[in-house]
Structure 1
Amino acid sequence: MQITLLTIGKTDNTQLNKLIEDYKKRLVHYIKFEFEIIPDIKNSKNLSEALQKQKEGEQILAKVSKSDRLILLDENGKQFDSITFSNYLQKHMNSGLKNLIFVIGGPYGFSDALYQRSDGKLSLSKMTFSHQMVRLFFIEQLYRGFTILRNEPYHHR
């Protein structure tokens, strides 16, 4: 199985990028992982929120095939503790799924078309985080989930 994280817009913070790169390298030991950044919509300041969400949604959906499982990182999604999340990952790996895609949307969230196509929603917290921070938190939780599955000590350091 491959896990893909799709995000809108790049991260300008070099310290965050270094941490994200560190966890991406760690994940290679457990699973095929792809982190893909979809460029920001050009001239988005001239677009309504709805139109910007629609255009971002179209770009995201262009990256998704029918057989992919699509999970939106959404504030109204299901919340897991780290152990339950690791079990969630294991369940997907056991299902024979080829690609599990998680999506971090743009500043206004997701389009209706993305919600309709999605196979679920996941929330990291009831708190609000910047989209750049969510990237790091999510990739770290993926790594933590795989260390839990392998019974490695990272989870309890």
Structure 2
Amino acid sequence: MNITILCVGKLKEKYWRDAEAEYSKRLKRFVNLQITELKESLLPANASPADEAAVKEAEGEAILAKIKSSDHVISLEIDGKGLSSTQLSAKIEELGLQGKSSIVFVIGGSLGLSPAVSRRADFKLSFSAMTFPHQMMRIILLEQIYRSFKIIRHEAYHK
């Protein structure tokens, strides 16, 4: 299975990069993992709602340009469906059994996802009603993907 994490923005702090490297290393035995970082669009100071919409639109176009028609897209959205770790693992396993060989998880920038990206998503996933920094969300997502494969393989993992 191929899993791509398509995200807006870079991991700036070393501790985030270290955590990403650790989970990427752990996941190598389960999946082909690719993390694709897209450039954040610049938001002017004192941005208007139109400026914010333009940034989301530009970031959305960059995201959609990286998604293939055959990809199963899971967007991370506050208004998405919340799943337990066990439910997420079952979803990933089910996708594999359905022959979905490429799953793309999408993490938007600081303003969230454009409506076009949200419409393209095959599943909208919410980790919480709270807002998290997209750098932190990437690490949380990686940990949950790793946990999912440990659950699928019936391997021990701390609770």
TM-score range, shorter chain: over 0.9
**1:45 is paired with a residue of what secondary structure?**
coil
1:26-48: per-residue Cα shift (whole Å, max 9, x none)? 0000011111101122x432771
Is structure 2 residue 149 aligned with structure 1 residue 146? yes
Paired position in structure 2 for 1:63: 66
**1:142 is paired with a residue of what secondary structure?**
helix
Q: Which runs of 5+ in 2 are unaligned?
A: none
Instruction: State the Cα distance separating 1:113 from its structure 2 match.
Output: 1.3
Taking the aligned partners of 2:29 and 2:99, their CA distance within structure 1 comes to 19
Contact 1:82 1:145 in 2 (8 A): yes
Instruction: State the Cα distance separating 1:139 from its structure 2 match.
Output: 0.2
Aligned residues: 155
Taking the aligned partners of 1:71 and 1:81, their CA distance within structure 2 comes to 15
1:76 equivalent among 59, 74, 79: 79
**1:102 is paired with a residue of what secondary structure?**
strand
Tell me the TM-score normalized by structure 2: 0.92
Tell me the TM-score normalized by structure 1: 0.94
Identity over the aligned pairs, expressed in percent? Answer: 39
Contact 1:144 1:155 in 2 (8 A): no
Q: Where do 1:127-146 residues align within 5 Å?
A: 127-146=130-149
1:44 counterpart letter in structure 2? L
**2:157 is paired with a residue of what secondary structure?**
helix
Quote the RMSD (CA, aligned, Å). Answer: 1.3
Between stretches 53-62 and 63-72, larger displacement belongs to: 63-72
Is structure 2 residue 100 aligned with structure 1 residue 97? yes
Paired position in structure 1 for 2:24: 24
2:27 counterpart letter in structure 1? L
Residues 92, 155 of structure 1: alpha-carbon distance in 2 compared, 3 angstrom cutoff: farther
Paired position in structure 2 for 1:45: 44
2:35 counterpart letter in structure 1? F
Taking the aligned partners of 1:86 and 1:116, their CA distance within structure 2 comes to 23
Contact 1:30 1:146 in 2 (8 A): yes
Taking the aligned partners of 1:117 and 1:128, their CA distance within structure 2 comes to 22
**1:88 is paired with a residue of what secondary structure?**
helix
Instruction: State the Cα distance separating 1:70 from its structure 2 match.
Output: 1.2
